[in-house]
Amino acid sequence: MARKKGGAKLNRSEIIQARLGPRLKFGSELIANKEKCTLSSLVEMSLEKLSESYKFKVSKKIHPSEEMSVSDLLELIWSSDEGVRFIRRAYILPSSLTFEEEDFFYFLTCYNYFWSFYEVKYKDESGNITRTEYRRHHALESLIEENLTEHWYALKNEDVTLLQKIPNEMGRIIPPPPGVDFEFEEPKKAYINVDGMFPIDHADIWKQNIHQLIKEIWVPVETPEGKKHEKKIVFPTPEEQKEMVDKIYQEHILWHSSSRK
């Protein structure tokens, strides 16, 4: 039997505790009396108004101006489902994540069951398909919300027994997303005559060594709370990747050539 999801109680207002100095409390009561509302309602209205003017920096993919108010962000991020809300925030507002939340987000991306995949085809020089594989669509719309919701509390609480029940399979297969390459030419192999035919595959060189070029750096970022440092992943340029592969390729040739002497 499918588990029933709670709904109504999640939409109720939550009670929070706040400290107000005597002067500010008195001023707030004056405003509340004039507006004919309670002090708590006044605080809620004030926060709603602040959310319309307070802005966060976002990427150009999210908004052309690279800025969005909190109220506009809530239209994109808010969900009564905690897991869905977390993933949306990670994609739309990654700067709001703590280091622990960044690690947890990466942890979630390792579960194929929560994401969508599309087929990639490799072809030879004649255009014949030599092999196919599936790649995860790295985008917010790739998330399968119902799958994540089903296992959210096991993930959040790190319940090993329940985590083992998450299916080890792709969440769903989708058509190739617009703008994503899904057909590739099969990488060519170079053969070096060293004690017979010794193959050196450029693709294998790239796979085995690309991690050496990926760097983690800490960059200063100005936030409303002050300056803080955020971790940034720096990926190598295509030129740097090609230079690495060519260098290792030449080293293979020199090493095997010298070993024959």
Locate the domains of the chain by residue range: 111-186, 187-261
**CA separation, residue 90 to residues 93, 99, 111, 143 (Å):** 6, 12, 16, 12
The string of pLDDT tens digits covering residues 194-224 is 444 445 666 777 777 777 777 777 777 777 7
d(CA 198, CA 207): 18
d(CA 84, CA 143): 9
The confidence band for 1, taking pLDDT boundaries of 50, 70 and 90, is: very low
pTM above 0.85, yes or no: no
The string of pLDDT tens digits covering residues 21-57 is 999 888 988 999 998 999 889 888 988 998 999 999 9
